[in-house]
């Protein structure tokens, strides 16, 4: 049996169950059919390479095994005939600190298919195991629909909407797995009992507020990072990859020709390259929760950095906020540089044009809210919405529906509800105007 095959067999055995040196040595000896004095040091080396108890990818373990001189010498001296390591029962292996999470035990892709209520072939199809090239037009066979949103800044955001069957599978993953995994305490987006209000509240009335924006937050979270989250939960590599495939997507190139006709060639090509890699799509049930989990290490680092500067840190999706007293105000510029370095080291991109350092003497604005003194809706936003409502009363709602919303009444009501949540007094004034509108 050749060296590469033996290394793969050993790696599979090492990862089949609990990753302790003794257990790995026993499984390695079982697969080789004999006890070898070099297996225990090799197991220790692998454990040292992957601290924290998270199951690594098999290929990473194979690379370490094949770098071992003791292993290479043993392969030269002995004609090993390794047993089939797939005969070993694979078990869940969550990281030590998260073993109390109430997630279902799924140890094979066949078991995952049964859990989802689909066939193994359907699992392969939905998870993109036989993923087509992004350059191939798949049309109605694709699992997503697309909607391009043009932002006021001139940038665009692609909403990737899963079709109903894939959306059902994603909702099952969300409710039975992801909702049982708590994000970092600093994360306030996409969580029950958290909101924009809880995101900005710690920064209200502070001497200095700093804001950092993450660019292309969802598409920058790639499939390998999502799979790593599921391996951290304890799922074997094949199961984690399948779950990640169900939650990620790559956008076919033809979408940018049909949906982005107003974009220049350079912008279209940049977006095409960004979205053609398997990534976390904005518009699925699972993406917000997974994004929070993928940003967990970033949240840990920025929380520690903020504490060292006697500051407070919170995050709402791609908005990062920091605040503190006069001591933080004096070090804010250097602090923001360190925070941006942490962001980039964790694989995210900083939108430097949106980075702001805001002393109390200037307007301090986070997530569209003013936080000087108390949390409030900006006066100009209130006045603009009030003017729209007044014109709806005078000239009818159709005259103000410039963006051609299908349900303009619900859009306006939602905007008023947001103001009511932040400033009930102003919200009541707007609601009174809204109730005077005559809807066709």
Model-level pTM greater than 0.75? Answer: yes
Q: Which domain holds residue 18?
A: 3-90
Q: What is the pLDDT of residues 69-87, one digit of tens each?
A: 999 998 888 887 766 655 5
Q: What is the pLDDT averaged over residues 206-214?
A: 96
Both 32 and 135 in a single domain? no
Both 52 and 173 in a single domain? no
**pLDDT for the residue 440:** 78
Both 82 and 147 in a single domain? no
Contacts of 261-270 spanning 24+ positions with Cβ under 8 A? 262/150, 263/156, 267/156
Helix, strand, or coil (residue 378): coil
Tell me whether residue 269 is in a domain.
yes
Q: Which of 17, 244, 241, 233 has the alpha carbon at shortest distance from 105?
A: 233
Both 251 and 136 in a single domain? yes
Both 164 and 240 in a single domain? yes
Q: What whole-number percentage of the chain has pLDDT above 70?
A: 90
Domain edge (last residue) among 38, 57, 90: 90
Both 78 and 154 in a single domain? no
Tell me whether residue 290 is in a domain.
no
**pLDDT for the residue 264:** 64
Number of structural domains (the chain) is: 3
Tell me whether residue 207 is in a domain.
no
Asked if 218 contacts 349 with a C-beta cutoff of 8 angstroms, the reply is no
pLDDT of 131 > 60? The answer is no
> Lowest-pLDDT range, 48-62, 91-105, 199-213, 370-384?
91-105
**pLDDT for the residue 257:** 75
Tell me whether residue 189 is in a domain.
no
Q: What is the pLDDT of residues 241-270, one digit of tens each?
A: 999 999 999 998 888 876 655 666 667 788
């Amino acid at each position: 049996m050749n060296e590469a095959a033996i290394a793969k067999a050993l790696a599979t055995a090492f990862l089949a169950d609990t990753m302790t040196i003794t257990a790995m040595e026993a499984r390695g000896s079982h697969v080789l059919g004999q006890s070898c004095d070099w297996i225990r040091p090799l197991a220790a080396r692998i454990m040292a390479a992957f601290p924290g108890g998270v199951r690594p990818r098999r290929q990473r373990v194979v690379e370490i095994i094949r770098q071992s001189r003791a292993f290479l010498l043993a392969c030269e001296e002995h004609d090993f005939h390794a047993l089939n390591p797939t005969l070993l029962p694979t078990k869940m292996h969550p990281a030590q600190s998260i073993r109390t999470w109430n997630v279902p035990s799924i140890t094979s892709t066949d078991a995952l298919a049964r859990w989802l209520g689909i066939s193994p072939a359907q699992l392969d199809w939905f998870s993109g195991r036989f993923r087509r090239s992004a350059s191939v037009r798949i049309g109605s066979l694709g699992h997503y629909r697309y909607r391009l949103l043009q932002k006021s800044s001139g940038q665009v955001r692609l909403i990737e909407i899963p079709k109903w069957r894939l959306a059902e599978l994603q909702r099952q993953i969300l409710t039975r797995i992801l909702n049982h995994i708590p994000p970092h305490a600093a994360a306030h987006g996409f969580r029950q009992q958290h909101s924009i209000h809880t995101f900005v509240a710690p920064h209200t009335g502070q001497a200095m507020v700093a804001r950092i924006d993450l660019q292309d937050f969802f598409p920058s979270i790639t499939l390998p990072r999502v799979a790593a989250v599921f391996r951290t939960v304890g799922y074997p590599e094949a199961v984690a990859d399948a779950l990640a495939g169900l939650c990620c997507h790559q956008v076919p190139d033809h979408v940018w020709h049909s949906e982005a006709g107003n974009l220049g060639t350079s912008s279209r090509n940049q977006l095409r390259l960004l979205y053609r890699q398997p990534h976390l799509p904005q518009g699925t049930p699972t993406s917000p929760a997974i994004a929070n989990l993928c940003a967990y290490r970033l949240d840990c680092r920025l929380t520690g950095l903020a504490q060292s500067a006697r500051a407070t840190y919170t995050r709402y999706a791609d908005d990062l906020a920091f605040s503190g007293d006069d001591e933080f105000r004096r070090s804010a510029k250097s602090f923001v540089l360190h925070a941006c370095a942490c962001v980039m080291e964790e694989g995210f991109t900083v939108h430097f044009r949106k980075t702001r350092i805001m002393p109390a003497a200037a307007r301090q604005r986070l997530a569209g809210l003013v936080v000087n003194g108390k949390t409030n809706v900006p006066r100009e936003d209130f006045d603009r919405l009030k003017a729209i409502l007044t014109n709806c009363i005078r000239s009818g709602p159709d005259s103000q529906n410039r963006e051609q919303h299908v349900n303009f009444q619900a859009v306006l009501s939602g905007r008023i509800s947001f103001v009511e949540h932040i400033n009930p007094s102003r919200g009541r004034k707007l609601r009174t105007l809204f109730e005077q509108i005559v809807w066709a």
